[in-house]
Amino acid sequence: MIRGTASAQFGSDALGGSVQFLTNVPALGVAGAAALHGTVTLGGETGHQGGMGAVLLGYSRDRLALSGSLSARKTGDYRPGGGVDSHSAITRFLGLPSDTFLDQRMPETGFQQRAGQLRFNWAANPDLLVVASYIRSRQDNANGWDQILGGDGNLISELNDLQLDLGYLRLERLDAGWFDRASATYSFNIQREERVNQGGNGNPNATIGHEPERTTVHGVQFNASRALSTRHSLYTLQF
């Protein structure tokens, strides 16, 4: 967590600071020995009758490390506290508790999600490190509950094909000319989704709107640092 204004480094939304979520870089192994490792994670949830699973495999040598993971999650319909949804359209428009006509579980609130990740870590020489990462995630069958029976009473509020592709390649070098350390990074971020809505508070003749969206962002960053004394250092950043 970085407190204080950080917009120049992390973008205009970082007025009060920023929180960094950093995924693990595959650890390098010991000289002369290769290692293969893996983990399996399984879990279940009773509140919405769902489950998840993940598999991680990794390979490492003294100068090279690779890792890959696959994960999936399926969530059933959610159950509100006490089985009663206080924001239900039945409560808003008729003044009745939601369990008068509906089941204790809110229909069409479940979803499923799948994700995969590849990581690469290579020490090209004692002063140069190459790191690469690619993540892909997709979520299907999600609905805006607050727009349908959970609130406005509309007939359709779908969020389909929610996808993310995120990758980067970073070079880090020690003793980079006048600087003690320097790094250069290229990244891309692609997000897709389609919103399908039918408003009109339950009017079956209301227009059904389809709003597919795609956002693609490419980024380049360079930074370098040098210790000027035991108490001062110089840091430069460029985009």
Measured distance CA(39)–CA(57) in Å, rounded: 7
Can you give the residue range of the structural domain that contains 162? 32-76+108-238
The answer to whether position 98 is within a domain reads no
pLDDT on residue 134: 96
The answer to whether position 19 is within a domain reads no
pLDDT on residue 190: 96
φ, ψ of residue 187 to 5 degrees: the values are: -140, 155
The answer to whether position 70 is within a domain reads yes
The answer to whether position 51 is within a domain reads yes
- What is the CB neighbour count within 10 angstroms for residue 104? 13
Q: Are 181 and 171 in contact (CB under 8 A)?
A: no
The answer to whether position 190 is within a domain reads yes
Helix (H, G, I), strand (E, B) or coil at 82: helix
The answer to whether position 12 is within a domain reads no
pLDDT on residue 239: 66
Token duo for residue 78: 């959610």
Which residue matches tokens 């209301």?
206
The answer to whether position 120 is within a domain reads yes
Measured distance CA(184)–CA(205) in Å, rounded: 55
Model-wide pTM > 0.85: no
* H, E, C per residue of 83-150: HCCCCCHHHHHHCCCHHHCCCCCCCCCCEEEEEEEEEEEEEEECCEEEEEEEEEEEEECEECHHHCCC
Report how far apart, in Å, the C-alpha atoms of 229 and of each of 80, 232, 234 are.
Answer: 59, 5, 10
The answer to whether position 171 is within a domain reads yes
Number of domains forming the structure of the chain: 1
Measured distance CA(150)–CA(189) in Å, rounded: 32
Helices (H), the chain: 7-10, 89-94
Measured distance CA(87)–CA(97) in Å, rounded: 9
* Digitized pLDDT (tens) for each residue of the chain, 239 residues in all: 888 887 777 777 888 888 887 777 888 887 778 899 999 999 998 878 899 999 999 999 989 999 999 999 999 988 888 888 888 888 888 888 888 888 888 888 889 999 999 999 999 998 999 999 999 999 998 888 888 888 888 889 898 989 999 999 999 999 888 999 999 999 999 999 999 998 877 788 888 999 999 999 999 999 899 999 888 888 887 76
